[in-house]
């Protein structure tokens, strides 16, 4: 009696056949070439992957890996801050999600802690005791985090409080302070500056016509100006700004590699043209070399602009522009180590737009400069 003996195939042979299948997809040719059954071929294909495949590292692959890494980091952070896990009591997890709300999304916290979102929302919005209070706290946290992020992490408790009041939130500063600290938010800051008064010896004939009257009744009456230095790598650049005291708006700014009359003159021309060549204008500054140079004074004279200067070594005579630079360094510049000029220029331009369009000012009833000017010209047109 004849016995049928099944052929034996090595693992290497099977892998070779599978690789050929992936390369050609010519099933009939492979079956005939190796004299194997169709079911056998697909059994090998399901058991062995194509070993000749090579992973291609693309931008999409990189972004996917980055997202996965950041997600895992957030999950670890959530568990560390929550002080509980999936097998912890439900009430403990509810309290942890409520405490961390505003720092992470509810969806992510519930997923990491194994908590149903519906259970959390029911815990917050439908419980009998303290429903209104807790509901408001969630809304306040969202608003505080949003305003903090929109400000580029520049705003502290006071600025956020005033912004929320402008937006219509009925909240006091103590609650803002409590939630700000509870969410562990930290704004940018810098050390306060101290000044030493000096005697006014040079250019005594340049009088102070402003006399610290920083509140003005209309635009283009008093402009104030100053310069400051910004480091890019190991190179120092200079920023000149001009502000209209009426609205505290920065109406012109320029960057240059030298702090001289050219930088100041070009910045002044930008402001003068953009504001429609105003008449009866007084321009106030300190007695820096560029401001008291013959060239710049001749420019002001040709444009019929009066010049006003602070007393030497007394920055309080030009306190508004000094305060602007202090805020700019605290809010933005001190948190950067610029390597390229373009990077620094973009940062400065963005801050000027933020300052004019978004940042509230205590002296302007917590409005921004563009709001003040818009309201002024609207009243004037009526």
Per-residue pLDDT of the chain (382 residues; tens, 9 = 90+): 444 455 677 888 888 888 888 888 788 888 888 888 888 888 888 777 544 444 555 667 777 888 888 888 888 888 888 888 888 888 888 888 888 887 888 888 888 888 888 888 877 766 545 556 677 788 888 888 888 888 877 788 888 888 888 888 888 888 888 888 888 887 765 455 554 455 455 566 788 999 889 889 999 999 999 999 999 988 999 999 999 999 999 999 999 999 999 999 999 999 999 999 999 999 999 988 899 999 999 999 999 999 999 887 778 889 999 989 988 888 888 888 899 999 999 999 999 998 999 888 888 888 899 999 999 988 887 6
Beta bridge partners of 285: 309
Alpha helices in 155-212 (DSSP H): 157-166, 173-182
Q: Look at residue 201 in the predicted model and tell me its pLDDT.
A: 53
Q: Which residues contact 160 (CB under 8 A, 6 or more apart)?
A: 144, 147, 148, 151, 176, 180
**For domain 222-381, which CATH number applies: 3.30.420.10, 3.30.70.20, 3.30.565.10, 3.40.50.300?**
3.30.420.10
d(CA 382, CA 380): 6
Q: Look at residue 99 in the predicted model and tell me its pLDDT.
A: 85
Question: What are the tokens at 274?
Answer: 């953009």
DSSP code, position 382: -
In the chain, residues under CATH classification 3.30.420.10 are 222-381
- Hey, how many other C-beta atoms are within 10 angstroms of the C-beta on 68? 10
Q: Exposed, middle or buried: residue 132 (CB in 10 Å: 0-12, 13-18, 19+)?
A: exposed
Q: Look at residue 349 in the predicted model and tell me its pLDDT.
A: 93
Q: How many CA atoms lie within 13 A of 320 on its CB side?
A: 27
Task: Name the residue among 40, 45, 107 with its Cα closest to residue 74.
Answer: 107
Q: Look at residue 74 in the predicted model and tell me its pLDDT.
A: 86
């Amino acid at each position: 009696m004849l016995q049928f003996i099944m052929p034996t195939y090595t693992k290497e042979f099977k892998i070779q056949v599978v690789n050929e299948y992936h390369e050609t997809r010519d099933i009939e040719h492979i079956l005939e070439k190796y004299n194997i059954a169709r079911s056998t071929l697909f059994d090998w294909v399901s058991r062995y992957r194509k070993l000749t495949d090579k992973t291609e590292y693309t931008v999409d692959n990189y972004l996917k890996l980055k997202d996965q890494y950041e997600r895992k980091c957030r999950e670890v952070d959530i568990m560390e801050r929550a002080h509980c896990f999936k097998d912890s009591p439900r009430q403990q997890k509810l309290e942890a999600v409520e405490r961390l709300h505003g720092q992470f999304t509810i969806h992510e916290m519930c997923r990491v802690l194994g908590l149903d979102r519906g259970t959390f929302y029911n815990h917050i919005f439908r419980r009998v005791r303290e429903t209104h209070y807790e509901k408001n706290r969630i809304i306040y946290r969202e608003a505080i985090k949003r305003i903090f992020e929109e400000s580029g992490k520049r705003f502290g408790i006071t600025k956020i409080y005033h912004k929320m009041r402008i937006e219509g939130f009925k909240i006091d500063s103590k609650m803002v302070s409590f939630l700000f600290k509870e969410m562990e938010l930290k704004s940018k800051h810098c050390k306060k500056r101290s000044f030493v008064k000096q005697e006014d010896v040079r250019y005594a004939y340049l009088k102070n016509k402003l006399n610290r009257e920083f509140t003005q009744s209309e635009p283009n009456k008093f402009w104030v100006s100053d310069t400051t230095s910004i480091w890019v790598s190991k190179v120092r650049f200079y920023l000149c700004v001009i502000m209209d005291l009426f609205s505290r708006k920065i109406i012109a700014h320029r960057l240059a590699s030298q702090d001289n009359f050219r930088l100041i003159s070009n910045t002044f021309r930008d402001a003068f043209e953009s504001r429609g060549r105003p008449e009866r204008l007084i321009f106030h500054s300190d007695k820096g070399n560029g401001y008291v140079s013959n060239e710049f004074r001749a420019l002001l004279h040709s444009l019929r602009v009066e010049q006003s200067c602070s007393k030497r070594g007394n920055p309080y005579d030009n306190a508004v522009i000094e305060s602007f630079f202090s805020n700019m360094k605290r809010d933005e510049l001190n948190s950067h180590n610029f390597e390229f000029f373009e990077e620094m220029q973009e940062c400065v331009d963005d801050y000027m737009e933020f300052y004019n369009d978004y940042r509230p000012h205590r002296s302007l009833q917590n409005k921004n400069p563009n709001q003040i000017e818009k309201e002024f010209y609207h009243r004037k047109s009526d």
